[in-house]
Amino acid sequence: MIERNDLKIANEFYRFVEDEALPGSNVSNEDFWKGFSQLIVDMVPKNRDLLRQRNLLQEKIDQWHEHNDWSENRVEYEVFLRDIGYWEPTEEPFNITTSNVDDEVAIQAGPQLVVPVNNARYALNAANARWGSLYDALYGTDVIEEQHGAERGTTYNPLRGKKVVDYARHFLDQIAPLENGSHATSTQYRIEQNQLVVVQGTNQTVLSTTSKFIGFTGDPSSPTAILLQNNGLHVEIQFDRQHPIGMTDQAGIKDLLIESAISTIMDCEDSVTAVDAEDKVIVYQNWLGLMNGTLQATFKKGQREVVRTLNTDRKYQTVSGGELTLRGRSLLLVRNVGHLMTSNMILDQQNQEVPEGIIDTVMTSLLAKHDLLGKGDIRNSEKGSVYIVKPKMHGSAEVAFANELFNRVEDLLGLERYTLKIGVMDEERRTSLNLENCIREVKNRIVFINTGFLDRTGDEIHTSMLAGPVIRKNEMKDSKWLQAYEKSNVDTGLNCGLPGRAQIGKGMWAMPDRMKDMMEQKVGHLKAGGNTAWVPSPTAATLHALHYHQVSVTAVQEILKQETLDRNADILTLPISTEKWSANDIQRELDNNAQGLLGYVVRWVEHGIGCSKVPDIHNVGLMEDRATLRISSQHMTNWLHHGICTDNQLLETLKKMAKVVDEQNSEDPLYQPMSSDFDRSIAFQAACELIFQGKNQPNGYTEPILHRRRQEFKNRLYAKN
Ligand X SMILES: CC(=O)SCCNC(=O)CCNC(=O)[C@H](O)C(C)(C)COP(=O)(O)OP(=O)(O)OC[C@H]1O[C@@H](n2cnc3c(N)ncnc32)[C@H](O)[C@@H]1OP(=O)(O)O
Rounded Cα–Cα distance for residues 666 and 655 (Å): 16
Q: Contact between 459 and ligand O=CC(=O)O (CB under 6 A)?
A: no
Asked if 610 contacts 116 with a C-beta cutoff of 8 angstroms, the reply is yes
Q: Contact between 459 and Mg ion (CB under 5 A)?
A: no
* Shortest distance (Å) from residue 453 CB to ligand O=CC(=O)O: 5
Q: Reduce the DSSP state of residue 477 to 3 states and report it.
A: helix
Q: Contact between 556 and ligand O=CC(=O)O (CB under 6 A)?
A: no
Task: Tally DSSP H helices, then E strands, for the chain.
Answer: 23, 26
Out of 249, 513, 625, 662, pick the active-site residue.
625
Q: Contact between 152 and ligand X (CB under 6 A)?
A: no
Q: What amino acid is encoded at 516 in this protein?
A: K
Q: Which of 279, 360, 427, 589 binds ligand O=CC(=O)O (CB under 6 A)?
A: 427
Q: Reduce the DSSP state of residue 205 to 3 states and report it.
A: strand
Is 625 catalytic? The answer is: yes
Q: Which of 338, 458, 469, 512 binds ligand X (CB under 6 A)?
A: 512
Q: Contact between 61 and ligand X (CB under 6 A)?
A: no
Q: Reduce the DSSP state of residue 299 to 3 states and report it.
A: strand
Positions in 481-510 near ligand X (CB under 6 A) = 508
Which of Mg ion, ligand O=CC(=O)O, ligand X, none binds 252 (CB below 5-8 Å, type-dependent)? Answer: none
Q: Which of 110, 111, 452, 469 binds Mg ion (CB under 5 A)?
A: 452
Which of ligand X, ligand O=CC(=O)O, Mg ion, none binds 366 (CB below 5-8 Å, type-dependent)? Answer: none
Positions in 451-470 near ligand X (CB under 6 A) = 452, 454
Q: Contact between 627 and ligand O=CC(=O)O (CB under 6 A)?
A: yes
Residue 331, strand partner residues: 263
Q: Which of 115, 409, 446, 454 binds ligand O=CC(=O)O (CB under 6 A)?
A: 454
Q: Contact between 694 and ligand X (CB under 6 A)?
A: no
* Shortest distance (Å) from residue 504 CB to ligand O=CC(=O)O: 15
Rounded Cα–Cα distance for residues 582 and 592 (Å): 16
> In whole angstroms, what separates CA 171 from the centre of its chain?
27
- What residues form the annotated binding site for acetyl-CoA? 114, 121-122, 271, 308, 536
What are the E-state strand segments in 16-136? 112-116, 131-133
The string over 346-362, giving b where at least 16 C-beta atoms fall within 10 Å of a residue's C-beta and e elsewhere, is bbbeeeeebbbbbbbbb
Rounded Cα–Cα distance for residues 201 and 406 (Å): 61
Q: Which of 144, 461, 508, 654 binds ligand O=CC(=O)O (CB under 6 A)?
A: 508
Closer residue to ligand O=CC(=O)O (CB): 631 or 691: 631
CA atoms within 13 A on the CB side of 186: 29
Q: What amino acid is encoded at 27 in this protein?
A: V
Out of 54, 335, 501, 630, pick the active-site residue.
335
Calculate helix-pair angle for 453-463, 626-641, nearest 10 degrees.
Answer: 20
Q: Which of 157, 200, 263, 271 binds ligand X (CB under 6 A)?
A: 271
Which range, of 199-207, 420-428, 433-441, 549-557, touches Mg ion by CB under 5 A? Answer: 420-428
**Hey, how many other C-beta atoms are within 10 angstroms of the C-beta on 631?**
28
Positions in 264-293 near ligand O=CC(=O)O (CB under 6 A) = 270
* Shortest distance (Å) from residue 261 CB to ligand X: 8
Q: Contact between 420 and ligand X (CB under 6 A)?
A: no
Q: Contact between 16 and ligand O=CC(=O)O (CB under 6 A)?
A: no
Which range, of 446-454, 478-486, 568-576, 586-594, touches Mg ion by CB under 5 A? Answer: 446-454
Q: Contact between 633 and ligand X (CB under 6 A)?
A: no
Which range, of 452-460, 609-617, 683-691, 696-704, touches Mg ion by CB under 5 A? Answer: 452-460
Q: Contact between 126 and ligand X (CB under 6 A)?
A: yes
Asked if 522 contacts 541 with a C-beta cutoff of 8 angstroms, the reply is no
556-562: long-range pairs with CB below 8 Å, 24+? 556/526, 556/527, 556/528, 556/529, 557/494, 557/499, 557/504, 557/529, 557/531, 560/490, 560/491, 560/494, 560/529, 561/494
Closer residue to ligand X (CB): 121 or 243: 121
CA atoms within 13 A on the CB side of 3: 4
Which range, of 56-64, 444-452, 530-538, 665-673, touches Mg ion by CB under 5 A? Answer: 444-452
Q: How would you write 649-679 as a 3-class SS string?
A: HHHHHHHHHHHHHHHHCCCCCCCCCHHHCCC
Q: How many residues bind ligand X (CB under 6 A)?
A: 25
**Cα–Cα distances in angstroms (integers) from residue 286 to residues 213, 399, 506, 612, in the given order:** 38, 27, 26, 20
Nearest CA to 33 among 2, 1, 7?
7
Q: Contact between 455 and ligand O=CC(=O)O (CB under 6 A)?
A: yes
Nearest CA to 235 among 220, 254, 256?
256
Rounded Cα–Cα distance for residues 166 and 11 (Å): 58
* Shortest distance (Å) from residue 270 CB to ligand O=CC(=O)O: 6
Q: Contact between 452 and ligand O=CC(=O)O (CB under 6 A)?
A: yes
Q: Contact between 613 and ligand X (CB under 6 A)?
A: yes
Nearest CA to 348 among 18, 39, 52?
39
Asked if 113 contacts 261 with a C-beta cutoff of 8 angstroms, the reply is yes
Q: Which of 625, 662, 689, 703 binds ligand X (CB under 6 A)?
A: 625
- What residues form the annotated binding site for glyoxylate? 335, 427, 452-455
Q: Contact between 259 and Mg ion (CB under 5 A)?
A: no
- The residues binding Mg ion (CB under 5 A) are 427, 452, 455, 627
- The residues binding ligand O=CC(=O)O (CB under 6 A) are 270, 425, 427, 452-455, 507-508, 627
- The residues binding ligand X (CB under 6 A) are 113-116, 121-122, 125-126, 267, 270-271, 301, 452, 454, 508, 512, 536-538, 611-613, 623, 625, 627
Residues designated as active site: 335, 625
